[in-house]
A and B are shown apart, each in its own frame.
Chain A
């Protein structure tokens, strides 16, 4: 503030000389139970740090669940993380890091009384949080539409089974119809050879035409069956290739590094080898070019991955709540900064909100590799 030392002494007859070396004197923002601004700022920071310690411990319970489940059933973590997009996880990491950077800069701007800059930087920080939540909303939406929600919302295995059943039924129907067409052609040939019965030939020809139409419709629908409920088929643009999966998956599987011995591992565990008719397609986005093959998960494997998604939603959900709270605090601080309420001596609110925001960033720094980058 602009008070001089003399004014300070008048306003403060008990003399806080020994604390007054900053020259800020009796700041109106100084609460009466503190001796001076220094003590107030230090106490506030310590209180914030104690709160952050409790936050770390609160997340700790969920991290503990993560590690214990991972230690005991690693397979489902390996399956589950393949349905999370590394790109968007990394994108969100960069967003949060950038907003942490602008937040730290905003604290500096507040300390230096750079009001406009401070408001702008807080605004950018807020937008960073908004972007993060936007990406998270899209990710969550995709998970739910794929039946990969937490707890009772986990239906990916049912979806996979439905797709497989529909696909198998359609394939069987096509085979039956084609056999029928062949039989009817034989009948027509017989009728023509024996002469006469032109009515019967006509009706058979009409039936054949109808059957052919049905077959064509079914064949057209086959690839779309994967598309109809993409519970486990990630790349919607390439469903034409997914159709191919049923035939070539065994060969393709062996192309992929790291999965070549998958059936051997399954055999060692007493599990049956993959039945190529009982597989769900999945394109491994981590690989490039010819290495991009379709990974496969049976409905049983997908069912086993349900706890991974519960842990994923609990951890990222609690973190998301923190991001939303932090965004609200940043908005509040931004409005106060715009009103010019912060000075070189009184900027603790910016500082403390900054600490909170950095903690949110810090937790995501651990969440990203643990959930998205499981190897």
Chain B
């Protein structure tokens, strides 16, 4: 029954595209394989590239889910623009924040020190004083940001 029904809805309108079970299964198997790869690759120490490899694999998986499970391949391109637009603005948001992350380091360190001071036992030595606002150690922060 399925083949005739598929054809009766297959003419013209993209929104009615029926995805075949074999394609769905293929995508599912590919997603499982990529999940295995993303776990397996953590055995290798690639330094900071581990993060990029993990994000790259996740992006491929997201592409597969979006294109086939979410029907974007057959949808109006405007839906794809919504997704890619949101993702691009997200990348812009996160990218600019990371470029600026050395600016937050001082605040973060002070926050951590304040939090530590609250829970340090009475007999423990005092927590290190917060870094003065006038000496942001940008070089060190940049080095750390690379990890």
Contact = CB atoms under 8 A, between A and B. Distances in A.
A156 to B, nearest CB: 11
Contact of B39 (A113, A362, A373): A373
Size class of the contact patch on chain B: 35 or more
Given A64-B93, A104-B24, A104-B69, A46 B18 contact: no
A116 to B, nearest CB: 13
Contacts of B11: 21
Contacts of A358: 65-66, 69-70
A179 interface: no
A291 B46 CA distance: 20
B28 A53 contact: no
A22 B11 CA distance: 9
B2 to A, nearest CB: 6
A375 B45 contact: yes
Nearest to B115: A306
Q: How would you classify the secondary structure of chain B's contact residues: helix, strand, loop or mixed? A: helix
A73 B98 contact: no
A73 B65 contact: no
B94 A361 contact: no
A185 interface: no
Contacts of B54: 369-370, 373
Interface string A168-182: 000000000000000
User: Size class of A's contact patch?
Assistant: 35 or more
A45 B65 contact: no
A111 B119 contact: no
B94 A63 contact: yes
Interface in A351-375: 351, 354-355, 358-359, 361-362, 365-366, 368-370, 373-375
Contacts of B93: 60, 64
A68 B104 contact: yes
Given A108-B21, A303-B119, A375-B50, A22 B13 contact: yes
24 contacts: A22-B13, A45-B75, A45-B76, A46-B82, A49-B82, A53-B83, A64-B97, A67-B94, A67-B101, A71-B98, A72-B141, A90-B35, A90-B39, A103-B69, A112-B5, A112-B6, A114-B2, A257-B45, A303-B119, A304-B116, A344-B16, A354-B70, A358-B65, A358-B66
Interface of A: 21-22, 38, 41-42, 45-46, 49-50, 52-54, 56-57, 60, 63-64, 67-74, 86, 90, 93-94, 97-98, 100-101, 103-105, 107-108, 111-114, 157-158, 161, 257-258, 286, 303-304, 306-307, 344, 351, 354-355, 358-359, 361-362, 365-366, 368-370, 373-375
